[in-house]
Amino acid sequence: MTERKALEGAADGAGTAQAGPAAGRHGAARLRHAPLIARLRHILLFAALGAVGTLAQYTVLVALVRGAGLGPVLASTAGFLVGGLVNYQLNRRIAFRSSKSHAEAAGKFFTVAGIGLGLNALLMTLFTRVLGLPYLPAQLLCTGLLVLWHYAGNALWTFRESRPVTPAPAPAADAGSA
């Protein structure tokens, strides 16, 4: 199921609870807000699945800082890459249920992730070196800020299913002009 179908399904479900005149203003308001509610549910699913990738990222981050003695920016970058691989699989299969080939989707996903990686490194540098925050709270801030970037990039570009273009009907031929 594509993101669009999931959103439409949620919108349909929200509108079927009360139908007809008995629904009143509340039913109309529910129908009007259904796409927003569906989008919020989808973002929550994306974030929940992202938590699994984030767990992988933080595991690598802490292991490299505490176990291998790497600096937090380099360790965060390595963790980000591992988390990205986990997130690609979860988002493609579950959040967006994409039918796009890996050749198309993976390139776009890792482009979005690469930009996110650059933003993550910049933010970690700002938070740990400039502002002097400990690396874990700094990474929490980075993660929170970057969720919105990743959702937008993947929903609007990576996994967006193209809609078929329906051609306009041909004008009816005038029977008397031939």
User: What pLDDT, on the 0 to 100 scale, is given for residue 29?
Assistant: 64
What does the alpha-carbon distance between residue 161 and residue 104 come to, in Å, rounded to a whole number? 12
What does the alpha-carbon distance between residue 76 and residue 81 come to, in Å, rounded to a whole number? 9
User: What pLDDT, on the 0 to 100 scale, is given for residue 62?
Assistant: 95
Q: What is the pLDDT of residues 34-70, one digit of tens each?
A: 888 988 899 899 989 999 998 999 999 999 999 999 9
In this structure, of 101-105, 117-121, 159-163, the range with the lowest mean pLDDT score is 159-163
User: What pLDDT, on the 0 to 100 scale, is given for residue 75?
Assistant: 94
What is this structure's pTM?
Answer: 0.62
User: What pLDDT, on the 0 to 100 scale, is given for residue 92?
Assistant: 92
